[in-house]
Amino acid sequence: MGPVHLIVGLGNPGTEYENTRHNAGFLVVERLASRYRSSWSQERKMQSRLAKAEVAGRKVWLSQPQTFMNLSGDAVGRLVDFYQIGTEQLMIVVDDADLPLGQLRLRPSGSSGGHHGLESIENRLGSRVYARQRVGIGRIATGEREIRNYVLGKFAADEKRVLEQVLDRAADQLEDWLQRGIQGAMNQFNGAVSAPLPKDSE
């Protein structure tokens, strides 16, 4: 079976945050869990919702931290310690406002880019060397750095068709990472999924 892998989708718990842009990580791991008919359970000791799957012969835990975004490292740290997850078996899925909607970017390491969830994980693990899949959510046209209201808003109706493609492609990339490793998954799936369709286009 090999080592256990951990895929953590970042987001905020609670119905008021469901289907918001900042919860793109939650949406990706939910899509992956649905493919394998994995059921979610609330694990208070781990500060997470967890689902278990077997993908490409590998045992995988899927996680949605319940700590709120800025404290994601608390949940990730507990899971890494308990399941003895090495950095090569850890994947963080996160929204990225600096990538257009429809873009995926998988990397083996890197900076937080100002994302508070990644900052929390970096501080808890004491390292930037862990894989992260960035899911583009776009940015408001003004280009302002203060985008709290935007990222906590829900996807617009004309974004949802592209979002569905993104979630499927992100899940495909995670499966490929488990099967072939990060380099192959980067080469195969990084980049644009599709350009948003005009509202009057059918």
Catalytic annotation, residues:
22
Geometric angle at alpha carbon 127, from 125 and 128, rounded to 5°: 120
Dihedral angle sign, alpha carbons of residues 161, 12, 41, 53: positive
Q: Cα 196–201–202 angle (5° rounding)?
A: 110
Backbone phi and psi for residue 193, each to the nearest 5 degrees, phi listed first: -80, -50
Q: Compute the CA torsion angle 121, 122, 128, 133 (nearest 10 deg).
A: 30
Give the long-range contacts of residues 194-202, CB within 8 A, separation 24 or more: 194/102, 194/162, 194/165, 195/102, 195/162, 196/101, 196/102, 196/158, 196/159, 196/161, 196/162, 197/158, 197/161, 197/162, 198/158, 199/157, 199/158
